[in-house]
Amino acid sequence: MNVGVVGNPTYPDLGSILATLAGAASRFGLTLYSEASLQPLWGDGQPAPPPRLADAPLLDCLITLGGDGTLLRGARLLNGANTPILGVNLGRVGFLTTVTPDMLDFALDALVRQAYATESRLALIPSIVGKGGKGPTREQPIVLNDVVVHKGGVARVVRVKVSVDGDEVAQYSADGIIVSTPTGSTAYSMSAGGPIVVPGVDAIVVTAICPHTLAVRPLVLPSHVTISIQPIPPWTDEVLVSFDGQVGSAMQQGERLEVRRAPQPVLLIRLGPESYFKRLRRKLHWGDLTDRVRR
């Protein structure tokens, strides 16, 4: 079984976790392929670090070591490959991840026996279309959480035209626009007042960040539509597009962003019976009133 490994090197215990993973992989008959930035961290437990992930054949699984951000980066690296992701949480919340480091042996055993379930998560393909639709189109890797249009530098208002399948919705004055998947509905979109959308719902959410009118509310759209966002002059300087809050690109005057559903979902491995709503309660303290004192 070919297993890719992606990790966040800022976690202080990552080296020891990689050593544990290397030992477990030999017991379970797994062939590991490491992200290039992790290769110096595998330590003395191996005669050599695993081969580079870029040189891997078809992967049976991708393991991400970190938090939700690491899992999002792993999904972007797969870029539509039909490879399930096993998220190992080294951080605090880890809402998208599945297991903790002390469960690694259990998780690898379940992986080998295929004793796990997968959740299909809708992903998005963003593209930046050239001026007037005639210039070159810059298609970006898939995103699992969200695509955000916003101003660079200090916080400033951006004015944009939002259209759905070519039909103009409105012209927004706001600090930015978030186009979110159901997975991303519990991230930036939720912080901006957007709804929580259960991952099984085929929908895309458009949420304005601090809109300058009370008439603007989040939109929940069917997943088959194409969403277009175009900055309106003279608010076209220093407009940026961020992908999953990790990488971004500048938009030039006359360009527009198009966002559509990716043809392939992202597959997240789940172990055990914990439901989505239980994770909401446990990790996001959804509906938690335990800090209130009964009088």
Q: Residue 295 — pLDDT band, cuts 50, 70, 90?
A: low
Q: What angle, 0 to 180 degrees and rounded to 10, lies between the N-to-C axes of helices 14-28 and 104-113?
A: 30
Nearest to 122 by CA among 274, 260, 275: 260
Question: What DSSP letter does each residue of 257-282 carry, written as one string?
Answer: EEEEE-SSPEEEEE-SS--HHHHHHH
pLDDT at 94: 86
Same domain? For 132 and 185 the reply is yes
Would you say residue 292 has pLDDT above 60? no
Q: Give tens-digit pLDDT for 111-122.
A: 999 999 999 999
Query: Are residues 116 and 209 both part of a single domain?
Result: no
Above 60 in pLDDT, residue 46?
Answer: no
| 129 pLDDT above the threshold of 80 | yes
Q: For residues 60 and 62, what is the distance between their CA atoms, to the nearest angstrom?
A: 7
Q: Note whether 111 and 139 are same-domain residues.
A: no
Residue 128, beta-bridge partner list: 138, 257
**Pair (137, 222) in one structural domain:** yes
Considering the domain architecture, whether residues 54 and 141 belong to the same structural domain is answered as: no
CA dist 44 → 13, 26, 104 (Å): 15, 15, 20
Span 234-286, pLDDT tens digits:
877 889 999 999 999 999 888 999 999 999 999 999 998 888 999 898 888 88
In this model, does residue 153 exceed pLDDT 90? no
Note down the domain range covering 194: 124-261
Q: Quick one: pLDDT band at residue 47, thresholds 50, 70, 90?
A: low
Q: How far apart are CA 295 and CA 292, in angstroms?
A: 9
Residues 155 and 252 in one domain: yes
What residue ranges in the chain does DSSP mark as E strands? 2-7, 31-34, 61-66, 85-89, 117-121, 124-129, 138-139, 146-151, 158-164, 167-174, 176-180, 203-209, 219-222, 227-231, 239-243, 247-251, 256-261, 266-270
- Residue 282: the pLDDT is 85
Least confident of 49-53, 72-76, 221-225: 49-53
Q: Is residue 280 part of a domain?
A: yes
Among the listed residues 235, 240, 249, 252, the one whose alpha carbon sits nearest the alpha carbon of residue 159? 235
Percentage of the chain beyond pLDDT 70 is: 95
Rounded mean pLDDT of the chain? 91
Q: Does one domain contain both 132 and 209?
A: yes
- Do residues 155 and 279 lie in contact, with contact meaning Cβ atoms separated by under 8 Å? no
Alpha helices (H) along the chain: 14-28, 68-78, 104-113, 188-191, 276-284
* Number of domains comprising the chain: 2
The CATH number of whichever domain residue 256 belongs to comes to 2.60.200.30
Q: According to the per-residue pLDDT averaged within each range, which of 12-26, 139-153, 192-206 is highest?
A: 192-206
Q: Which residue has the higher pLDDT, 155 or 263?
A: 263
pLDDT of residue 17: 93
pLDDT band at 293 (very low <50, low <70, confident <90, very high): low
Residues tagged active-site: 68
Choose between 191 and 237: higher pLDDT. Answer: 191
